[in-house]
Amino acid sequence: MQYPNGIKKSFKNKVSYSNRGMDLESDLNSTNEYYRLNDIAVIYKKPTPITINKVDYKSRNDAIIREAHFKIPSTTDYNGVYKGKYIDFEAKETKNLTSFPLNNIHKHQIEHLEKIMNHGGIGFIIVKFVKLNKTFLLYIKDLLNFISSNKRVSIPLSYFEDYGYIIKEGFNPRLDYLKIIDKGVYYEKEN
Amino acid sequence: MQYPNGIKKSFKNKVSYSNRGMDLESDLNSTNEYYRLNDIAVIYKKPTPITINKVDYKSRNDAIIREAHFKIPSTTDYNGVYKGKYIDFEAKETKNLTSFPLNNIHKHQIEHLEKIMNHGGIGFIIVKFVKLNKTFLLYIKDLLNFISSNKRVSIPLSYFEDYGYIIKEGFNPRLDYLKIIDKGVYYEKEN
């Protein structure tokens, strides 16, 4: 379950990672803002999906939601347009050192990314290994390849190293993931 | 301000338009569902943006939002991918008979659609004249042309007839707006 910025933090370990950069969501939001301000791409994080049960209407423009629940998202968190192409991705952090547990991503989010790919969009996941301070972009085709050829419930770090692309951390933009998209989805990695 | 399905209805006139079809949002949601189920396009309505102030955490997976406010959306309501192209639009109903008041669309939503167009995406608005039961698609380029050459605060119906495209109502899909996209954004209307 994905909570909006700030609220998620209540659950977090109190260990500070501040000298290793902000959390992934903040980094991606500031990167996307950089892309928009510099007219590079128009990519946003979608609002958190909720179900509203009770609303107080003081007036038409001053309504207070009094009861609502977080919904399981049917799509991914981020989408937008870059050089005419549709971009769609999900971003997750893990505190694990050696693998990324697949249950961090809902099955229908993976199915969603597969559909995006089939319709000519560019779908991927961004995974940050917080304790290693390494952030990878993994295209949906490679995520699907892993799932179809493995029975493992988590993706080893080595798979990200072999099939994913490191997103280098910078000052501004923080995580320039479009640089990887520029290489092309079917760009073959040199090993 | 756009409220989520159901809640909006509290404000509505009690006159039933049921024999003239459902409301625009329901029609578009069912159309998008049709597109997804038939593997034609992947287009969703975004969740309603809110600011959350108070949350009760019973457990990690059972949180109840106790106070939240509707936010003014910075983007449009619908986006997705169709034949590799990025699609982005805002949909509005009006009860007016002869014109569509421009204050129905936030200034930053128009600016957002302009950016989408500049980045190679397909941006437009869908406007339904409820009492005429006519629904139009108007590309952002034609909306911007109207705004830059007019000081009027509303777009006359005749402008939609001249520069927009009628979306015919059907059984399923209800409003096949992608049929218009198929003609191409720069398709010249015969008059």
ipTM field: 0.83
Q: Give which of A28, A52, A38 is closest to A170, Cα–Cα.
A: A28
What is the structure's pLDDT at B15? 41
Q: Chain centroid to CA B63: how far?
A: 31
Chain A residues within 8 A of B110 when measuring between CB atoms: none
| pTM of the predicted protein model | 0.84
Q: What is the pLDDT of residue B158?
A: 97
Confidence of residue B125 (pLDDT cuts 50, 70, 90): very high
A129 contacts A100 by C-beta, under 8 angstroms: yes
> What is the three-class DSSP state of A1?
coil
Give dist(CA B51, CA B55) in Å, integer.
11
- B29: confidence class by pLDDT, cuts 50, 70, 90: very high
Where chain A has pLDDT below 70, the residues are: 1-22, 60-61, 185-191
Chain A residue at shortest CA distance from B47: A49
DSSP letter, residue A36: H
* A88 neighbors A78 (Cβ within 8 angstroms): yes
- The residue of chain A with its CA nearest to that of B53 is A7
Q: What's the full length of chain B, in residues?
A: 191
Q: Are residues B46 and A42, on separate chains, in Cβ contact within 8 Å?
A: no
Structure-token pair, residue A187: 């760009």
Which of A42, A65, A120 has the CB atom closest to B115's CB atom?
A42
User: pLDDT tens digits, residue range A100-136?
Assistant: 999 999 999 999 999 999 999 999 999 999 999 999 9
Query: DSSP character for A7?
Result: T
Q: Exposed e or buried b for every residue in B13-44, given b needs 16+ CB within 10 A?
A: eeeeeeeebebbbebbbebbebbbeeebbbbb
CA B137 to chain centre: 9
At residue B60, φ and ψ (nearest 5 deg) are -60, -35
* Cβ contacts of B87 on chain A, cutoff 8 Å: 86
**Helix H or strand E encompassing A114:** helix A107-118
Cross-chain Cβ contact A119/B42 below 8 Å: yes
What angle in degrees, to the nearest 10, is found between the helix axes of A107-118 and A140-149? 120
- Name which of A10, A51, A52 to mutate to probe chain B: the one with the most chain B Cβ atoms within 10 A of its Cβ: A52
DSSP collapsed to 3 states, B36-86? HHCCCCEEEECCCCEEEEEEEEEECCEEEEEEEEECCCCCCCEEEEECCEE
Question: Under an 8 A CB cutoff, do B81 and A116 touch?
Answer: yes
Q: Spell out the long-range contacts of A55-60 with Cβ–Cβ below 8 A and sequence spacing 24 or more.
A: A55/B7, A57/B10, A60/B1, A60/B11
Q: Say yes or no to pLDDT of B78 above 70.
A: yes
Look at residue B40 in the predicted model and tell me its pLDDT: 97
Q: How far is CA A184 from CA A139, A178, B23, in A?
A: 11, 10, 42
Residues from chain B that touch A39, judged by Cβ atoms under 8 A, are 115, 118
CA distance B66 to A23: 26
Confidence at residue B72, expressed as pLDDT on a 0 to 100 scale: 84
* Three-state secondary structure call for residue A75: coil
Q: Which of A70, A78, A81, A89 to mutate to test the interface with B (most CBs of B within 10 A)?
A: A81
Cα nearest neighbour of B67 on chain A:
A66
In chain B, residues with a C-beta closer than 8 Å to the C-beta of A111 are none
What pLDDT, in 10s, does the model give residues B6-16?
A: 344 333 334 44
- Tell me the chain A residues in contact with residue B61 when contact means C-beta distances shorter than 8 Å: 1
The token pair that represents A61 in the structure block = 């423009």
Distance from CA of A10 to the nearest CA of B (A): 10
Q: Which one of A63, A66, A120 has the shortest CB-CB distance to B84?
A: A120
For residue A113, how far is the Cα from the chain centroid?
12
B7:A83 CB<8 A = no
HEC per residue, chain B? CCCCCCCHHHHCCCCCCHHHCCCHHHHHHHHHHHHHHCCCCEEEECCCCEEEEEEEEEECCEEEEEEEEECCCCCCCEEEEECCEEEEEEEEEECCCCEEEHHHCCHHHHHHHHHHHHCCCEEEEEEEECCCCEEEEEEHHHHHHHHHHCCCCEEEHHHHHHHCEECCECCCCCECCHHHHHCCCCCCCCC
